[in-house]
């Protein structure tokens, strides 16, 4: 892709009629990593021309300052071509596509975007596609949908309270979100398998429940997501950005560990922790993620050294071997280190 494909911790959904351009500009001040505007359900038909014109104006003014998404109308809507004509420009980062049911939907939009990019003088392939899975069939075909085009980015399992996914699948929303855990994990595995690098989940609906939001964000991070879509509420953005940003302690730790493991090219023990060579890959990923958010290792961080290099099995046995000389328990035959 020609355009920077960076991770996004927070994508604020601004779902209103977009008749107030001042309010639209203020969306860029919330602190979210990305901003999304709306042309689908939340904009009445008679308001769509105004919304399109205002979105285009704000895109040209502020789009370069922050990745900007637009949720267009569904692919079988007569409004679709007018949406694309209005919003396809160099400042548009991605389109959110509602109610995607199959790979054919993505292929159709990919072709249309190519035509509108040529028409607008935009480099082909510049604009990303984020499919929104809002039905049982869409979620079932998540891998095929994610694989349909190299434009697909930031795709993940999207759930909401009493929304279209709940209507199609039948789940009853709870604060713990356990009823959608399988859906979000299943889609995550699918999109990761399809090569989507920075999957994003969402959405947390209760505006005044920051504790619930934080638990949902932590759960999403722990299963493998890098961010969430969210309400255009500064407190929501702050919670999400904090949860999905590596801590300074973690950054300092991996800044020490990665070069130690790389230099050893074998198993090492640091701080009593066994670290095989593949641990450096995880460390580099975490450092890369932190760097995207402007977080760098501290100059005064604690310096670490390897306590043991190589011969890991013998070393571990020596640590746990009881006074009897056996690592296999009382009454067993000594192993003599073999």
The CA distance from 268 to 112, in Å, is: 53
What is the pTM assigned to this prediction?
Answer: 0.90
Q: Is the pLDDT of residue 104 over 70?
A: yes
Q: Is the pLDDT of residue 115 over 60?
A: yes
The CA distance from 337 to 199, in Å, is: 46
Q: Are 39 and 48 in contact (CB under 8 A)?
A: yes
pLDDT value at residue 299: 96
Residue 160's pLDDT band, with cuts at 50, 70 and 90, is confident
The CA distance from 3 to 311, in Å, is: 46
Q: Are 243 and 218 in contact (CB under 8 A)?
A: yes
Percent of the chain residues topping a pLDDT of 70: 91
Q: Are 226 and 7 in contact (CB under 8 A)?
A: yes
Residue 317's pLDDT band, with cuts at 50, 70 and 90, is confident
Tens-place pLDDT, residues 1-12: 434 589 999 999
Q: Is the pLDDT of residue 43 over 80?
A: yes
pLDDT value at residue 321: 67
The CA distance from 206 to 194, in Å, is: 32
For Cα atoms 87, 205, 227, give the angle at the middle one, nearest 5 degrees. 65
CA torsion sign, 324 to 329 to 335 to 338?
Answer: negative
Q: Is the pLDDT of residue 45 over 80?
A: yes
Q: Which residues contact 188 (CB under 8 A, 6 or more apart)?
A: 156, 157, 199, 201, 223, 224, 225
The CA distance from 159 to 203, in Å, is: 6
The CA distance from 202 to 220, in Å, is: 9
CA distances from 55 to 72, 88, 111, 139, 295 (A): 11, 11, 23, 30, 32
Q: Is the pLDDT of residue 310 over 90?
A: no
What's the whole-number mean pLDDT along residues 267-293? Answer: 93
HSE, side-chain direction, 13 A CA sphere, residue 256:
18
pLDDT value at residue 322: 60
What's the whole-number mean pLDDT along residues 166-174? Answer: 93
Q: Are 228 and 34 in contact (CB under 8 A)?
A: no
The CA distance from 326 to 335, in Å, is: 6
Tens-place pLDDT, residues 224-242: 999 999 999 999 999 999 9
Q: Which DSSP state fits 277?
A: T
CA distances from 213 to 177, 202, 216, 239 (A): 10, 10, 5, 8
Tally of CB atoms within 10 A around 61: 14
Tokens 């959904």 belong to which residue?
13
Q: Is the pLDDT of residue 335 over 60?
A: no
Tokens 């699948």 belong to which residue?
169
HSE, side-chain direction, 13 A CA sphere, residue 301:
17
Indicate the burial class of 54 (C-beta count within 10 angstroms; 0-12, 13-18, 19 or more): buried
The CA distance from 164 to 195, in Å, is: 26
The CA distance from 189 to 194, in Å, is: 9
What average pLDDT does the chain have?
92
Tokens 């040529």 belong to which residue?
118
Tens-place pLDDT, residues 51-77: 999 999 999 999 999 999 999 999 999
What's the whole-number mean pLDDT along residues 254-282? Answer: 93
């Amino acid at each position: 892709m020609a355009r920077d494909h960076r991770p996004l911790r927070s994508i604020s959904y601004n779902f209103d009629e977009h008749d107030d351009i001042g309010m639209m500009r203020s969306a860029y001040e919330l602190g979210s990593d990305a901003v999304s505007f709306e042309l689908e359900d939340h904009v009445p038909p008679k308001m769509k021309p105004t919304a399109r014109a205002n979105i285009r104006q704000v895109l040209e003014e502020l789009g370069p300052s922050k990745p900007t998404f637009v949720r267009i109308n569904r692919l079988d809507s007569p409004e679709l071509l007018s949406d694309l004509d209005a919003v396809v420009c160099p400042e548009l980062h991605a389109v959110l596509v509602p109610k995607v049911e199959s790979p054919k939907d993505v292929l159709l939009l990919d072709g249309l975007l190519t035509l509108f990019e040529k028409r607008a003088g935009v480099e082909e392939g510049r604009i990303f596609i984020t499919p929104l899975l809002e039905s049982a069939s869409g979620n079932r075909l998540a891998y095929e949908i994610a694989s349909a085009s190299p434009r697909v980015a930031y795709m993940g399992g999207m759930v909401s309270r009493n929304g279209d996914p709940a209507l199609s699948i039948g789940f009853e929303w709870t604060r713990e979100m356990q009823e959608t855990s399988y859906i979000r994990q299943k889609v995550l595995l699918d999109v990761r398998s399809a090569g989507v690098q920075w999957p994003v989940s969402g959405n947390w609906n209760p505006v005044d429940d920051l504790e619930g939001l934080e638990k949902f964000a932590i759960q999403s991070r722990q299963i493998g997501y890098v961010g969430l879509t969210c309400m255009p509420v500064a407190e929501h953005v702050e919670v999400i950005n904090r949860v999905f940003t590596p801590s300074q302690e973690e950054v300092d730790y991996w800044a020490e560990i990665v070069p130690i493991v790389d230099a050893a090219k074998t198993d090492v023990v640091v701080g009593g922790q066994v670290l095989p060579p593949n641990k450096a890959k995880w460390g580099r990923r975490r450092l890369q993620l932190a760097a995207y958010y402007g977080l760098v290792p501290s100059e005064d961080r604690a310096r670490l050294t390897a306590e043991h290099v190589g011969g890991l099995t013998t070393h571990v046995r020596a640590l746990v071997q009881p006074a009897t000389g056996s690592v296999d328990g009382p009454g067993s035959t000594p192993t003599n280190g073999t």
